[in-house]
Structure 1
Amino acid sequence: MNDFVSALILGIVEGITEFLPISSTGHLIIVNQFVGFTEQFAKMFDVVIQLGAILSVVVYFRHRLIPFGNMKSSNNQRIFELWKKTIVGVVPALGIGYLAADYIEERLFNTTVVALALIIGGIILLLIEGRRHAFKIKSIEQLSYRTAFSIGIIQCLAMIPGTSRSASTIIGAMLLGASRVVAAEFSFFLAIPTMVAASGYTLLKNGLLLTPHEFLIVGFGFIVSFIVAWLVIAGFMSYVSRKDFKPFGYYRILLGIVVLVYFSLFAA
């Protein structure tokens, strides 16, 4: 397969799945079975296109995330408050990720783990959406530091490939009383320092030695991921303001079953 076609496919997959509760890492592990990038370059490529998706969050929510003008304005004070809550939320992932990253990468990055995590996460989504909800937290401003830290702890479940970082944070936030919109927004915000830290660690570990051809492939994938992720964020925020997450739960279960069957019967 042409390298740029592979980059296009992976960039689209990353852009679509990074912020939906269906696991971008799980999808990339599955798709990489067919695309054919070498193992070392595949890791590098996946990390860089994740950064493209993260950049789309900053651009889409720029007025919520980037302070402008008078630093003492009430809007900028809300921005700084949001960043402080986000940093509090990312602390658990930084600690546990530093201690367990190598073990997780060596033992859990396989299609069986991804499939089981997809199925289990899908069932949990359906169970949560089957409950009656009394949302106490209807805006990011109402989100306490304690709740942000608790969501960060739950986010650590996403270190298991296939679990989904966005799914774990959204589920955690809803269980702690946040509305779907607040849960989705905080999941997006929490993704920025979490993924930048994870990507930075991987890049430092694996190096950035790329040939000119590889650099073009990575750059192309980055741009595709950025554009697709920006469109997905816009659509997803509109969706969660009106509907629930049940379709994502059903999708996860179906995909997990397909992956288990396929790799058990045809890829042994």
Structure 2
Amino acid sequence: MGLFDLIKAIILGFIEGMTEFAPVSSTGHLIIVDDMWLKTNILLGDTAAITFKIVIQLGSILAVFLVFWKRLFSLLGLSKYASSHLNLLHVVIGLLPATILGLTFKDFIDKLFKIETVIVALIIGAVLMMFADKFGPKKPKIVSLDQITYKQAFMVGLMQCLSLWPGFSRSGATISGGVLLGMNHRVAADFTFIMAVPIMIGASSVSIIKSWDYLSFDYLGFYTAGFISSFAFSLISIRFFLKLISQIKLTPFAIYRIILAIVLACFYVI
């Protein structure tokens, strides 16, 4: 593997890390770099490219775990967390709606993975985010994860169903839902990221099982560079976003989504 190939792996890890958790749609961004993915497939072969995509997602999972390890251990009963009320059942309830809907309509959802539907989702998701900022409580009553009720966890889970529409953004849908339910932006973001861990682990596990016979480690340097890049930039993205979200809220991200939708429309549709 040459230097250019390692740089390519770092760039792809950067895209995964910086867009996976921000409410801007990682799907939309991966479409923008689709040509790069295709070149990667040509370089590595389809099976190695599948391995690479799994590897960089594992880097993102590790970053979330590092940021929220105390909460995650507490949910599993492996450590004590002061005044902890949020428990594993909150997370399970939050995951149920999208899990059931996703499994039930999987074939239909797979058909939505095209540029036109992503563009529409980017715009509608942006409108929802601006709506949440505009009409969410000015003084949120839920300022801690431990104040989230089972009903609110379920309602956030219902909002997460919108993310089954490619381009909508899971974090955009769930944070907006949390804000409209009375959470402050930081609490809504924290709950979103905690729910992301089992979702991403499940998705990666399914991918590994399906691709087990085709996994290739002939390009270990390429995989390692992608993993480290994804982990590092995911860590930066999560920490930066959690500090930023309380200050600027969702509207700036919504504006960016609209601009992204226009760019995609210009290059891929018009």
Q: What is the TM-score normalised by the length of structure 1?
A: 0.87
* 1:126 and 2:133 matched: no
Q: 1:100 to 1:50 in 2, by over 3 A?
A: farther
Instruction: Give the letter aligned to residue 48 of structure 1.
Output: V
Instruction: Give the letter aligned to residue 144 of structure 2.
Output: S
- Segments of 5+ residues of structure 2 without an aligned counterpart are none
Percent identity, please: 37
CA distance in 2, matches of 1:229, 1:24: 12
Structure 1 residue 132, shift from structure 2 partner: 5.3
After superposition, the C-alpha distances for 1:114-173 in whole angstroms (9 at most, x for unaligned) are: 222112211221222223524221111110011111211211211111111111110111
Q: Mean Cα displacement is larger for which, 107-116 or 213-222?
A: 213-222
* 1:242 and 2:237 matched: no
User: What residue number does 2:84 align with?
Assistant: 78
CA distance in 1, matches of 2:233, 2:123: 25
Instruction: Give the letter aligned to residue 64 of structure 1.
Output: R
Q: 1:43 to 1:261 in 2, by over 3 A?
A: farther
User: What residue number does 1:140 align with?
Assistant: 145
User: What residue number does 2:211 align with?
Assistant: 206
User: What residue number does 1:52 align with?
Assistant: 59
Question: Are 1:15 and 1:232, in contact at CA under 8 Å, matched by a contact in 2?
Answer: yes
Instruction: Give the letter aligned to residue 217 of structure 1.
Output: F
Q: Mean Cα displacement is larger for which, 222-231 or 108-117?
A: 108-117
Instruction: Give the letter aligned to residue 63 of structure 2.
Output: S
Which aligned pairs between 1:1-40 and structure 2 lie closer than 5 A? 2-36=4-38, 37-38=40-41
Report how many aligned residue pairs link the two structures: 261
Which aligned pairs between 1:92-171 and structure 2 lie closer than 5 A? 92-105=97-110, 107-131=111-135, 133=137, 134-171=139-176
Instruction: Give the letter aligned to residue 119 of structure 1.
Output: I
Q: 1:171 to 1:228 in 2, by over 3 A?
A: same
CA distance in 1, matches of 2:97, 2:136: 29
Q: 1:45 to 1:117 in 2, by over 3 A?
A: farther
CA distance in 1, matches of 2:268, 2:201: 32
User: What residue number does 2:94 align with?
Assistant: 89
Q: 1:113 to 1:73 in 2, by over 3 A?
A: closer
Question: Are 2:71 and 2:81, in contact at CA under 8 Å, matched by a contact in 1?
Answer: no
Match of residue 61, structure 1, among 57, 68, 75: 68
CA distance in 1, matches of 2:124, 2:74: 40
RMSD of Structure 2 on Structure 1 (CA): 2.5
Question: Are 1:94 and 1:197, in contact at CA under 8 Å, matched by a contact in 2?
Answer: no
SS of 1:177's equivalent in the other structure is coil
* 1:220 and 2:220 matched: no
CA distance in 2, matches of 1:159, 1:173: 17
SS of 1:61's equivalent in the other structure is helix
Instruction: Give the letter aligned to residue 160 of structure 1.
Output: W
Q: 1:264 to 1:160 in 2, by over 3 A?
A: same
CA distance in 2, matches of 1:180, 1:67: 22
Instruction: Give the letter aligned to residue 71 of structure 2.
Output: R
CA distance in 2, matches of 1:175, 1:50: 30
Structure 1 residue 90, shift from structure 2 partner: 1.2
Moved over 4 A (4+): 39-44, 70-74
CA distance in 1, matches of 2:214, 2:265: 35
Q: What is the TM-score normalised by the length of structure 2?
A: 0.86
